[in-house]
Amino acid sequence: MASATEHREPKHREPRPCEPRPCEPRPCEPRSYEPKPSDVLERFLRYVQVDSQSDPDNESETPSTPAQHDMARVLGEELRALGCEDVVVDGHAYVTATVPASAGAEGLPALGLCAHIDSTVDAPAAGVRPHVVHYEGGDLVAGVIDGTEVSTSSDQVPDLGQFVGQDIVVSDGRTLLSADDKAGVAEICALVARLGDDPSLPHPTLKIAFVPDEEIGHGAALLDLDKFGAAWCYTVDGEALGEFNYETFNAAEATVRVRGVMVHPGSAKDVMVNAITVAGEFERLVPAFERPEHTEGREGFYHPIQVRGTASEVTLTYIVRDHDASRFEGRQQVLRDIAAFLNGRHGEGTVTVELREQYRNMSEAFGDCPFLIANALEAHREVGIEPKVVAVRGGTDGSQLSLRGLPCPNIATGGYNAHSVREFVPVRSLELTVDLLERLVGKFSVPQS
């Protein structure tokens, strides 16, 4: 990690430094209105308007995009204005800060809260224009693009009917909303503001971390855990309100390279090995029904995500996922076995497979601290949310942090349709998540056992 310069600020509240950009009228806005925003809503609407999409084609640099520096600077200013101590915005767009403990909890282990600042590349993410819809049933319309409604139906999101009569934040339909994970960022900052406004609320020392490039598998890799100083941590990076995660996929990326033998096609018989043809053979041998579109729950998969090349050389990229460690190893072996079979047919060295582990199932990390799970479940119930423990079909920064020695379950943000222009988050879910975090940190204001 590059050296960071620490900034110490007095504990006082300054005017918030980042005002929302005004939204120009959009075709959907007759269905929108302007409610008086709560603190978390006001923060969320501002944060999503700061571009911060990551770039998987530049993953050798951290952050992978200059825009993430802009988001990091905004959050550094926000945390200083909230009176946080030890605020650091480093050269890799990591933002860290300390919230001092409440009276009587100063000697207890510090608790971390973490969210990521980048947005996915799976949908357009530049120029996010959020607005609030008062949902009255039927399809939830984000916007009208070229005469076509961008909407979500209850068939697509069965929970939608729960939100009739509520305010819901959507984009204008041209971009994702970036609730993944700026909802988590806003909820953490709103919690910090609430604790500053009411010193009677109990909590241990809190260590805040906002990290870049989670969407491309980097996430908290450069977070110096000794310097961070938390004994335990929670990410705030889930989806539907009430979902709680302490199990994720095991994850690997597979790079398959196919090298052909090229000669003039007029004299190619028994000599040419066309890399495109062999790559097609490889793809057909990967189990067809063990793909994301055919799996759910605890079923793992192989997912081809990129193909590029020519008749001379082709590169295929897959991601491999499974919750079970032995099945995860077995899936990687299947890809090696396919390569060996094709090399036997076309010649040694025609196909190579390179596997890179991305993260592990974080459930391995909680044997010595079951209270992390118990406290979170209890905090949900105390604010009227019945928790639902879900094994994540993906990963969080907590996957990486847990296996590095910082146990880190995941709290939901309340969002839906992540990685889509139909992404949305109910306002009440944002607000309840802040209530949940308040109860949760309060449980760490006494010794844990």
Q: pLDDT grade, residue 352 (50/70/90)?
A: very high
The pLDDT of residue 230 = 98
Rounded average pLDDT over 306-319: 97
| Residue 24 in marked binding region | no
346 annotated as belonging to a binding site for a ligand? no
State the CB neighbour count (10 A cutoff) for residue 381.
Answer: 13
Sign, CA dihedral 183-185-186-191, equals positive
Is residue 360 predicted with pLDDT exceeding 90? no
Is 419 labelled as part of a ligand binding site?
Answer: yes
Whether residue 381 contacts residue 387, with contact meaning beta carbons closer than 8 Å, is answered with yes
* Confidence class for position 446, pLDDT limits 50, 70, 90: very high
Task: Read off the pLDDT of each residue in 54-66 and give the average, rounded to a whole number.
Answer: 94
pLDDT greater than 80 at residue 362: yes
Residue 3: pLDDT above 80?
A: no
How high is the pLDDT of residue 247?
A: 92
Structure tokens at 101: 């403990």
* Tokens encoding 6: 């620490």
**pLDDT reported for residue 364:** 83
Does residue 38 have a pLDDT over 80? yes
pLDDT band at 33 (very low <50, low <70, confident <90, very high): low
Question: Closest Cα to residue 184, out of 148, 158, 144, 211?
Answer: 211
Residue 424 and residue 240: Cα distance in Å, rounded? 10
The catalytic residues are 118, 214
| Residue 381 token pair | 């119930």
Helix-strand-coil split of the chain, %, nearest 5:
30, 20, 45
Sign of the CA dihedral with 104 first, then 110, 111, and 112 last: positive
Flag whether pLDDT at 243 surpasses 60. yes
Q: Are 273 and 282 in contact (CB under 8 A)?
A: no
User: How large a percentage of the chain has pLDDT more than 90?
Assistant: 83
Pick the CATH number of 39-247+362-444 from 3.40.630.20, 3.40.630.10, 3.20.20.70, 3.40.30.10: 3.40.630.10
CA distance 343 to 237: 43
The single-letter DSSP state of residue 236 is E
Q: What's the CA gap between 12 and 74, in Å, rounded? A: 18
Query: What pLDDT sits at residue 218?
Result: 85
Q: Quick one: pLDDT at residue 32? A: 53
Task: Report whether pLDDT(17) > 80.
Answer: no
181 is in an annotated binding site: no
* Residues in Cβ contact with 348 at an 8 Å cutoff, skipping those fewer than 6 apart: none
Is pLDDT larger for residue 359 or for residue 305? 305
Residue 116 among known ligand-binding residues: yes
Contact by Cβ (8 Å): 198, 168: no
Distance CA 305, CA 283 (A): 12
Q: Is 153 helix (H, G, I), strand (E, B) or coil?
A: coil
pLDDT, residue 1, reads: 37
pLDDT band at 295 (very low <50, low <70, confident <90, very high): very high
| Domain layout of the chain by residue ranges | 39-247+362-444, 250-359
Q: What is the pLDDT of residue 2?
A: 38
More confident residue, 10 or 410: 410
Range from 22-26, 93-97, 220-224, 361-365 carrying the lowest mean pLDDT: 22-26
pLDDT (0 to 100) of residue 24: 43
Q: What pLDDT does 229 receive?
A: 97
DSSP 244-262: EES---EEEEEEEEEE-B-
Count of positions (residues) in the chain: 449
- pLDDT higher than 80, residue 343: yes
pLDDT value of residue 383: 97
Q: Are the CB atoms for 175 and 130 separated by under 8 Å? A: no
Per-residue pLDDT tens digits for 181-216: 999 999 999 999 999 999 999 999 999 999 999 998
What is 250-359's CATH number? Answer: 3.30.70.360
* Predicted pLDDT at 255: 98
Average pLDDT along the chain: 91
pLDDT band at 35 (very low <50, low <70, confident <90, very high): low
pTM assigned to the model: 0.83
pLDDT at position 131 over 70: yes
Give per-residue pLDDT as tens, 398-416: 888 998 999 999 999 999 9
